[in-house]
Amino acid sequence: MGMFDYLRIDPDLLPVSAEEKCLLSCACGGEFQTKSLHKDLTMVEITSKGRLLWAWFDHRVYLSEQDLPEEYMVKEGTQAMEFDGFLVPLSKITWIEEKEFTGEVRFYDSIEKEWYESSALFENGGLIKISKLSPC
């Protein structure tokens, strides 16, 4: 499977139908995966103003559920389960604005056996456009 990052975006920013926005909001809450960036389980966000933000926080990874402290137990199907480890934040998340990123960020998710993929183009940290790649 490989490593990836998480990308948060308001589904209202996506060029999809109203029905698809509802489906995406309910199924993934506007959180997708991307392999276009660092691929180290970082959380990034595209804001409603078209800026790219990076989440920064101290964390610890537990490799097995037996090692995980009781207060951090997670349900199957959560992000932590997806990479065969458990990521536990040790500090409050700080959002850092990326002011220089220029390039494409592809993000995706499979919802009800349908592949949803979009492409966001950035120049100097600012969103130029978002395109729907699939489903076509």
pLDDT at 81: 42
Domain residue limits, the chain: 5-57+92-134
If one compares 108 and 112, the residue with the highest pLDDT of the two is: 108
Task: Say whether pTM exceeds 0.85.
Answer: no
Q: Percent of the chain beyond pLDDT 90? A: 29
pLDDT at 123: 95
Strand ranges, E, within 3-100: 5-9, 31-34, 43-46, 52-56, 59-62, 86-89, 94-98
How far apart, in whole angstroms, are the C-alpha atoms of residue 105 and residue 36?
5
Of 56-65, 70-79, 106-115, give the lowest mean pLDDT range: 70-79
Extract the tokens encoding 81: 């389960």
